[in-house]
Protein backbone atom coordinates (compact mmCIF):
# COMPACT_ATOMS: atom_id res chain seq x y z
CA UNK A 1 0.00 0.00 0.00
CA UNK A 2 1.03 3.60 -0.57
CA UNK A 3 1.85 5.32 2.71
CA UNK A 4 0.96 8.98 3.19
CA UNK A 5 2.88 11.01 5.76
CA UNK A 6 1.74 14.45 6.85
CA UNK A 7 3.75 17.08 8.68
CA UNK A 8 3.48 18.63 11.09
CA UNK A 9 1.06 16.61 13.22
CA UNK A 10 0.01 19.80 14.99
CA UNK A 11 0.34 23.36 13.79
CA UNK A 12 -0.19 26.22 16.24
CA UNK A 13 -0.98 29.50 14.54
CA UNK A 14 -2.86 32.76 14.93
CA UNK A 15 -5.67 34.29 12.92
CA UNK A 16 -4.15 35.92 9.86
CA UNK A 17 -1.11 33.63 9.74
CA UNK A 18 -0.12 31.67 6.68
CA UNK A 19 -0.33 27.91 7.31
CA UNK A 20 1.42 25.22 5.30
CA UNK A 21 0.86 21.47 5.62
CA UNK A 22 2.98 18.91 3.78
CA UNK A 23 1.96 15.45 2.61
CA UNK A 24 4.49 12.93 1.30
CA UNK A 25 3.66 9.73 -0.56
CA UNK A 26 5.81 6.60 -0.30
CA UNK A 27 5.77 6.35 -4.12
CA UNK A 28 4.70 8.56 -6.97
CA UNK A 29 0.97 9.25 -7.16
CA UNK A 30 1.14 11.77 -10.00
CA UNK A 31 -1.46 14.42 -9.04
CA UNK A 32 -4.02 12.01 -7.59
CA UNK A 33 -4.26 13.72 -4.23
CA UNK A 34 -7.12 15.30 -2.31
CA UNK A 35 -7.26 17.41 0.86
CA UNK A 36 -10.10 17.32 3.39
CA UNK A 37 -10.99 19.43 6.41
CA UNK A 38 -12.63 17.86 9.45
CA UNK A 39 -14.05 19.54 12.52
CA UNK A 40 -14.77 17.66 15.76
CA UNK A 41 -17.85 15.46 15.51
CA UNK A 42 -18.36 16.29 11.84
CA UNK A 43 -17.78 14.52 8.55
CA UNK A 44 -14.76 15.43 6.42
CA UNK A 45 -15.24 18.12 3.80
CA UNK A 46 -13.46 18.13 0.43
CA UNK A 47 -11.21 21.15 -0.13
CA UNK A 48 -8.82 20.28 -2.96
CA UNK A 49 -8.69 17.51 -5.57
CA UNK A 50 -6.15 16.54 -8.21
CA UNK A 51 -3.51 18.19 -6.01
CA UNK A 52 -4.39 21.79 -6.89
CA UNK A 53 -8.03 22.05 -8.01
CA UNK A 54 -10.23 23.96 -5.59
CA UNK A 55 -13.61 22.38 -4.84
CA UNK A 56 -16.57 24.60 -5.62
CA UNK A 57 -17.51 26.83 -2.70
CA UNK A 58 -14.16 26.53 -0.90
CA UNK A 59 -12.60 29.91 -0.06
CA UNK A 60 -9.74 31.09 -2.25
CA UNK A 61 -7.38 31.30 0.73
CA UNK A 62 -7.01 27.52 0.39
CA UNK A 63 -4.58 26.26 -2.25
CA UNK A 64 -2.81 23.03 -3.07
CA UNK A 65 0.36 22.25 -4.97
CA UNK A 66 2.74 19.42 -5.77
CA UNK A 67 3.00 16.26 -7.81
CA UNK A 68 4.76 12.93 -7.63
CA UNK A 69 5.50 12.36 -3.95
CA UNK A 70 5.40 15.77 -2.30
CA UNK A 71 2.33 17.94 -1.84
CA UNK A 72 1.39 21.06 0.07
CA UNK A 73 -1.83 22.57 1.37
CA UNK A 74 -1.58 26.29 2.08
CA UNK A 75 -4.03 28.52 3.89
CA UNK A 76 -2.97 32.05 2.99
CA UNK A 77 -4.54 33.82 5.96
CA UNK A 78 -6.04 31.69 8.72
CA UNK A 79 -9.60 32.51 9.69
CA UNK A 80 -11.35 31.40 12.90
CA UNK A 81 -13.35 28.83 10.91
CA UNK A 82 -10.15 27.16 9.63
CA UNK A 83 -9.05 25.70 12.96
CA UNK A 84 -9.65 22.01 12.30
CA UNK A 85 -7.87 18.81 11.31
CA UNK A 86 -6.70 18.37 7.72
CA UNK A 87 -6.13 15.08 5.89
CA UNK A 88 -4.54 14.27 2.57
CA UNK A 89 -5.73 11.23 0.59
CA UNK A 90 -4.13 9.49 -2.37
CA UNK A 91 -6.37 7.96 -4.99
CA UNK A 92 -3.70 6.66 -7.32
CA UNK A 93 -4.27 3.06 -6.27
CA UNK A 94 -7.38 1.03 -5.51
CA UNK A 95 -6.28 0.79 -1.90
CA UNK A 96 -6.74 4.47 -1.17
CA UNK A 97 -4.94 5.83 1.86
CA UNK A 98 -5.11 8.91 4.05
CA UNK A 99 -2.41 10.77 5.86
CA UNK A 100 -2.54 10.68 9.66
CA UNK A 101 -3.91 14.22 9.87
CA UNK A 102 -2.67 17.67 10.85
CA UNK A 103 -4.47 19.54 13.59
CA UNK A 104 -4.41 23.30 13.13
CA UNK A 105 -4.94 24.90 16.52
CA UNK A 106 -5.12 28.43 17.82
CA UNK A 107 -1.82 29.71 19.19
Q: Which is nearer to other proteins, 17 or 83 (CB)?
A: 83
Q: Alpha-carbon distance 93 to 71, whole Å?
A: 17
- By C-alpha distance, which of 28, 78, 71 is closest to 52? 71
Q: Which is nearer to other proteins, 82 or 99 (CB)?
A: 99
74 near other proteins, judged by CB under 8 A = no
Interface mask toward other proteins for 16-55; x: CB under 8 A: ----------------x-x-x-x---xxxxx--xx----x
Q: How far is the CB of 105 from other proteins (least distance, A)?
A: 15
63 near other proteins, judged by CB under 8 A = no
Pairing mode, if any, of strands 70-75 and 33-38? unpaired
91 near other proteins, judged by CB under 8 A = yes
Q: What is the 3-state secondary structure (H, E, C) of 30-99?
A: CCCEEEEEECCCCCCEEEEECCCEECCCCCCCEEEEEECCEEEEEECCCCHHHCCEEEEEECCCCCCEEC
Task: Give me the residues that bind other proteins (CB under 8 A), please.
Answer: 1, 32, 34, 36, 38, 42-46, 49-50, 55, 87, 89, 91-101
Amino acid sequence: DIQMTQSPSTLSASVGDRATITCRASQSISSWLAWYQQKPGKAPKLLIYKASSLESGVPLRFSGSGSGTEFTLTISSLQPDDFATYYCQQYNSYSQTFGQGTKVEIK
